[in-house]
């Protein structure tokens, strides 16, 4: 049972507002983006709106939606993922935003191009160098025309998000998908201005950020999600040192990123030798921008390992999380699977009732509970 002292500490650290740009969230708890494959023909329905609104009504301060495809023919790789373009899809998203706001929450869409994850051959996958995460051939190396079109598609989607009433936007630059594949030397073998040293590898991402920044109002916050690890390659690193990470971050900051969402599999692990800071902590220190941490918050196991998806994960305490938050290591805390198993996880935590939370079971992935 959580003690009264712990509850006071929880509320002091988690139950306080945070502002970035024109967005103010009521507390430090965010919902992490999680692909659910439940939007037939790319259209989010009423069930999707209810799914997000349920979390907003239970004290999730900021919702980051599942990844949504930009209007680029090669952007998609998986079925039933929502689009962020087209009349029907955008109408569905407008309803989602309305329902979340009505429930008292704030919401930003995550904009996504899957890059070499695409297996369809028409059109083929797009990547920096035609190289996949495993080092083998994957799709086509992007031309300048392809790059320019992709940059424009991200900007178009961001403008739509503001027009529909969303509270900001997040760019998916993590996990080996297109933006991230430019950041990582393993997949970016270009010899032009988009490849080479860390700052040059960040050029594509910075151009997207800059175009998005120009397409939305000055106070409309732009989040950027990044990671070291890639899907199926958990040892990959876009930066081997803090110095390399700083070289990647600087162009993104200059282009207009307001907040970074640093994706790790276990938030409690230090990122570089010689410091206890996790990835979000290093990003905040090096960039001076707000950061979001994520990675097995509230659970005792990472979501996927060498053997694949973990079927279950037990409830875990958040003392380490609070310690890091108290040291101002990061600003927001994104929660994933714990919020799937417990739509009211944030309420339980803020009321000191974490002991009432239930474990994550993979079965919850089959429905929008």
Give the residue numbers annotated as catalytic, written as ranges.
177
Distance separating alpha carbons of residues 105 and 63, to the nearest angstrom: 7
CA angle 327, 286, 256 (to 5 degrees): 115
Number of Cα atoms under 13 Å in the Cβ half of residue 205: 36
In terms of C-beta density within 10 A (0-12 exposed, 13-18 middle, 19 or more buried), how is residue 367 classed? Answer: exposed
Spatial CB neighbours of 225, under 8 Å, sequence gap ≥ 6: 33, 110, 170, 171, 172, 173, 174, 260, 261, 262, 263
For residue 12, the tally of other CB atoms under 10 A from its CB is 12
Please answer whether residues 181 and 128 qualify as being in contact, where contact means their C-beta atoms are separated by less than 8 angstroms: yes
The continuous run of DSSP H or E covering 149 comes out as helix 144-164
Q: Could you tell me which of 108, 68, 83 has the C-alpha nearest to residue 220?
A: 108
Cα torsion through 76, 77, 81, 82, rounded to 10: 0
């Amino acid at each position: 049972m959580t003690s009264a002292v712990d509850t006071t500490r929880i509320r002091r650290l988690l139950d306080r507002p945070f502002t970035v740009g024109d967005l103010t969230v009521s507390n430090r708890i965010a919902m992490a983006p999680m692909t659910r494959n439940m939007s037939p023909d790319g259209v989010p329905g009423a069930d999707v709106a209810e799914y997000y609104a349920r979390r907003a009504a239970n004290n999730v301060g900021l919702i980051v939606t599942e990844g949504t495809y930009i209007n680029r023919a090669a952007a998609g790789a998986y079925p039933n993922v929502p689009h962020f373009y087209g009349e029907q899809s955008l109408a569905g998203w407008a309803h989602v935003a309305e329902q979340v706001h009505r429930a008292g929450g704030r919401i930003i869409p995550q904009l996504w191009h899957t890059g070499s994850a695409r297996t369809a051959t028409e059109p083929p996958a797009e990547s920096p160098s035609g190289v996949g995460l495993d080092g083998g051939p994957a799709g086509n190396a992007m031309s300048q025309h392809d790059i320019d079109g992709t940059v424009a598609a991200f900007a178009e989607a961001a403008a739509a998000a503001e027009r529909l009433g969303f509270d900001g936007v997040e760019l998916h630059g993590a996990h080996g998908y297109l933006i991230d594949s430019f950041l990582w030397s393993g997949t970016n073998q270009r010899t032009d201005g988009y490849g080479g040293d860390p700052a040059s590898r960040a050029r594509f991402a910075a151009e997207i950020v800059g175009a998005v920044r120009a397409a939305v109002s000055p106070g409309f916050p732009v989040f950027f999600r990044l990671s070291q690890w890639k899907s199926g390659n958990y040892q990959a690193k876009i930066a081997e040192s803090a110095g390399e990470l700083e070289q990647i971050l600087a162009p993104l900051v200059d282009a207009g990123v307001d907040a970074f969402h640093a994706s790790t599999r276990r938030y409690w692990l230090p990122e570089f030798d010689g410091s206890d800071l996790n990835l979000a902590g290093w990003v905040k220190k090096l960039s001076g921008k707000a950061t979001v941490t994520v990675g097995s918050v509230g659970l005792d196991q990472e979501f996927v390992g060498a053997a694949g998806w973990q079927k279950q994960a037990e409830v875990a305490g958040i003392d380490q999380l609070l310690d890091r938050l108290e040291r101002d290591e990061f600003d927001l805390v994104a929660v994933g699977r714990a919020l799937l198993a417990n739509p009211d996880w944030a309420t339980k935590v803020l009321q000191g009732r974490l002991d009432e939370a239930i474990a994550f079971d993979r079965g919850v992935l089959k429905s929008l509970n």
